[in-house]
Chain A
Amino acid sequence: MSTGNMNLTLKVWRQKNNKTKGALVDYKLSDISPDMSFLEMFDVLNEQLINKSEEPIVFDHDCREGICGSCSMFINGRPHGPKDLVTTCQLHMRSFKDGDTIVVEPWRAKAFPVIKDLTVDRTAFDRVIAAGGFISVNTGNAQDANALPIPKNQADAAFEAAACIGCGACVATCKNASAMLFVSAKISQLALLPQGQPERYRRVQSMVAQMDAEGFGNCTNTGACEAECPKGISLENIARMNRDFYAAKFVSEEDI
């Protein structure tokens, strides 16, 4: 229903740009409906700020159905908030209680600098993909799709790795700001498929090198990334990536 009865205190990170310092700012909100999504609650807050001639809070969002990977709020110390396997845009206010204080921060990582308020720069992910997250096949090169049968379990495993939405929650939650879950998901997807074999070892080396160059941390197996991933991407992918990375060291230069 349009008006509800929840009264909330928000502590939201405000930062004008990447050259200035930011701070948490308090906002009071009343009559919030439990049926509203978390981002719609932000819409209400922003509308109130605009009506007071203040600048609205900037945050990334687009599809609002959990698939584009844009939304990126660190809510009460957890990426995408308190519920498992959902993104911020799929979180609803009924997951909170009347009278709650909610702290909202941007993703925090050296490789994800803040642009403004809750918006961060995640282009490092694109550069990691550009370093090798593909199969080198030009348009028009392809053979008939059914000429290459792929066992169903292998195709399903590749699909599970490919479900990553590139939101960066794994980096945000990791104490080392490691991007290993993201990078390994793409490496796994392609390493599990026959089409990915020719570039398998070259790919893992160049993507890992780019990941390091971007300033992401290393993995210390705490598993927070898997626990917080809205798409349930498995830690097994990191194991696969590490195995391929070490295997690549034993493959002769000519074979890479």
Chain B
Amino acid sequence: MSELNSNIPEGELTQKWTKFKSSVPLVNPSNKRSIEVIVVGSGLAGASAAATLAEMGYKVKCFCFQDSPRRAHSIAAQGGINAAKNYQNDGDSTYRLFYDTIKGGDYRSREANVHRLAEVSANIIDQCVAQGVPLAREYGGLLDNRSFGGTQVQRTFYAAGQTGQQLLLGAYSALERQIGMGKVEMYTRHEMLEVVKIDGKARGIIARNLITGELERHFGHAVVLGTGGYGNVFYLSTNAMGSNVTAAWKAHKQGAYFANPCYTQIHPTCIPVSGDHQSKLTLMSESLRNDGRIWVPKKKDDTRKASEIPEDERDYYLERRYPAFGNLVPRDVASRAAKERCDAGYGVGASKLAVYLDFKANTERYGRIEASKSGIHNPDKETCMRLGTEVIKEKYGNLFDMYAQITGENPYETPMRIYPAVHYTMGGLWVDYNLMTTVPGLYCAGEANFSDHGANRLGASALMQGLADGYFVLPYTIGQYLSKEISVKAIPTDHPAFAEAEAKAKGILDTLINIRGTKSVDHFHKRLGHIMWEKCGMARNEKGLNEAILEIRALREEFWRDVRVPGTSDELNTELEKAGRVADFIELGELMCIDALNRNESCGGHFREEYQTEEGEAMRDDENYAYVAAWEFKEGVNFELHKEELKFENIKVAQRSYK
């Protein structure tokens, strides 16, 4: 076991980033023109990094597996983006955003990185508005804000329920501008299958042209991965179907350590699974918990309709367990509480894996206010419900429509059925302060890295981190490395290292095609997802994790013996693409279980059943586990642990309580 060097600059917390920027070596414009940077991924982090690096004068190549960079999964983010602007004059500051993020992450993130994130958050909003991103505004013409979980200020900027879409299209237009000027070469429908290393440094990638199946060699003085999270290891998640870990995992196998893989965010309010054929889960925004009350019947296996269950036979379990925060406890707490009720036999709906999110009480309350506004005294219940429904429709109409479309039920009349689902992964490739992985010249940005959210991410912070990394952090920090590379000429791609990496990628593709087994890729992916969800999901324990590791190893063996991939590798073959991704998910799944087993404490999204308080709350062990677990890949799918101690010099570490 060795200590990792996070390369955090010396000095006082608030001065570190300023001093870093003033002292980082520069690359002069004529040298930039001959330095090539590869960016893999075109979401918020990848697109903003590629555009900014090209604006600075570097030669950039950008890769995405989708048919257009505009389709990266950042586009699906609904709620908003945090920034410490203090436009609402409610006492927000860089320090408060920093503090909320560290606390929200259950004291498992790096202070210096989080402070830098809070510092640049305001610049992101300026940049996006300058690009023409239509963020929501007040009648006075200034930007509007809303509240999100885990904070006491209004710092969330938004564009209706499509904030991710609008921010991504902003970054996409900046990227397309550079493409149009010939400063970025864009490779769509290309998937990175290998990192090329020469003399220990990342010097390029092998990418597969997904239309022709051709393997291509691309040189870069540095390689940046902005390839997103790995929530699809669970098969069912709110991630897009194509979201995958492959680029990060290939980098991991080339020496980049993987940090805190067991930190997974399970979002409490998603539409429940309806059947075996379900392919993905849909989120219902966190904002619904403002007006929805969560409950289950007090009686086990109650088969009555929600409307037939009288008030005194309902268990509003969040209000019962957490009187101070009620239905607005943080995501990890709300998710675990729902699981606890369902496991105990109180779940609702055909699958019994759902709880009610009921708007009736607040609909009636709003109706009473509306009635009083229009001078109706002592309104009857029907009038209240009719008027209140209009208010609810105005606030959440699009979400209610989406729910009705998917479930075929009318949520204005019956309560929504919801259940937690995998949403985001806090773990990722280990990076130092410069966002460089343990492979020199290989960088990682956005959800793909591990750096800023600790063991639990706060709402509206993923967009902030992706754009902070891509626009404002990486373009500076990469200069420290590239300034030493100015004398390196572009390495021709007939170099043996490229040939070797290509042969390796080709070998895997050929193997997958030639197995000609009996079971589809999805068959294996579903089984992996089932193991992960049952044994490494919302709650984990030693016995289950040990079983999961053995089951996953057996699954891996079976996969490589019995998977069926139709077609060939020299054409558009979506089954082959999926097979490669699932193969990597299987290896990652094992590492997640190993990491969860190693971490003998509960923190944020990682809940070990053995480590809880008497009331069933997460119990951290700061003495033994205040570290980042960074795993090194070893031959034969083995992993070695390295630790980065987390030092809290500016924040007092405390137990979270929501009672």
Interface of A toward B, CB cutoff 8 Å: 1-3, 16-17, 33-37, 39-40, 43-44, 47, 49-51, 53-56, 58, 60-70, 86, 90, 92, 94, 115-116, 119, 121-123, 125-126, 129-146, 148-152, 155-156, 158-159, 162-163, 165-166, 189-190, 193, 195-196
Contact = CB atoms under 8 A, between A and B. Distances in A.
25 contacts: A39-B279, A43-B279, A47-B520, A55-B566, A63-B73, A63-B75, A64-B241, A67-B76, A67-B162, A68-B71, A92-B406, A116-B572, A126-B179, A129-B176, A130-B176, A131-B180, A133-B173, A139-B48, A140-B127, A141-B130, A142-B130, A146-B85, A151-B141, A158-B132, A162-B166
B562 interface: no
Contacts of A189: 132, 134
A158 B69 CA distance: 22
B383 interface: no
A159 B76 contact: no
B131 interface: yes
Contacts of B179: 126, 130
Interface string B509-533: 0000000000010100000000000
Contact of B408 (A94, A116, A126): A94
Nearest to B123: A142
Contact of A69 (B71, B123, B241, B520): B71
A2 to B, nearest CB: 4
B134 A158 contact: yes
Contact of A195 (B130, B177, B279): B130
Given A70-B67, A159-B160, A162-B169, 9 more contacts: A35-B408, A43-B279, A67-B164, A90-B405, A116-B572, A119-B572, A134-B177, A145-B143, A155-B137
A129 B165 CA distance: 16
B396 interface: no
A142 B127 CA distance: 5
B69 A126 contact: yes
B275 interface: yes
Between A92, A126, A148, A156, the greatest number of chain B beta carbons within 10 A of the residue's beta carbon is seen for A126
B502 to A, nearest CB: 23
Q: Which 7 A-B pairs have the closest CB atoms?
A: A149-B141, A130-B180, A142-B130, A134-B173, A2-B275, A142-B126, A159-B134
In terms of DSSP, what is the predominant structure of the interface of chain A?
A: loop
Nearest to B68: A126
Nearest to A17: B571
Interface in B19-61: 48, 51-52, 55
B87 A121 contact: no
A50 B70 CA distance: 31
B590 to A, nearest CB: 26
Given A55-B567, A158-B132, A152 B173 contact: no
A145 B68 contact: no
B177 A130 contact: yes
Interface of B: 48, 51-52, 55, 66-71, 73, 75-76, 85, 87, 123, 125-143, 159-160, 162, 164-166, 169, 172-174, 176-177, 179-180, 186, 188, 211, 240-242, 274-280, 282-283, 350, 402, 405-408, 471-472, 475, 520, 522, 564, 566-567, 571-572, 574-575
B131 A64 contact: no
Contacts of A47: 520, 522
Contacts of A163: 162, 165
A159 B166 contact: yes
B572 A166 contact: no
B188 A149 contact: no
Contact of A56 (B52, B242, B574): B574
B279 A139 contact: no
A133 B179 CA distance: 12
Contact of A64 (B85, B87, B123, B240): B240
B275 A150 contact: no
A129 B126 CA distance: 22
A52 B517 CA distance: 12
Nearest to A138: B55
A129 B275 contact: no
Nearest to A196: B132
Contacts of B162: 67, 163
A159 B159 contact: yes
Nearest to B174: A134
A201 to B, nearest CB: 16
A43 B408 contact: no
A55 B564 CA distance: 11
A136 B512 CA distance: 46
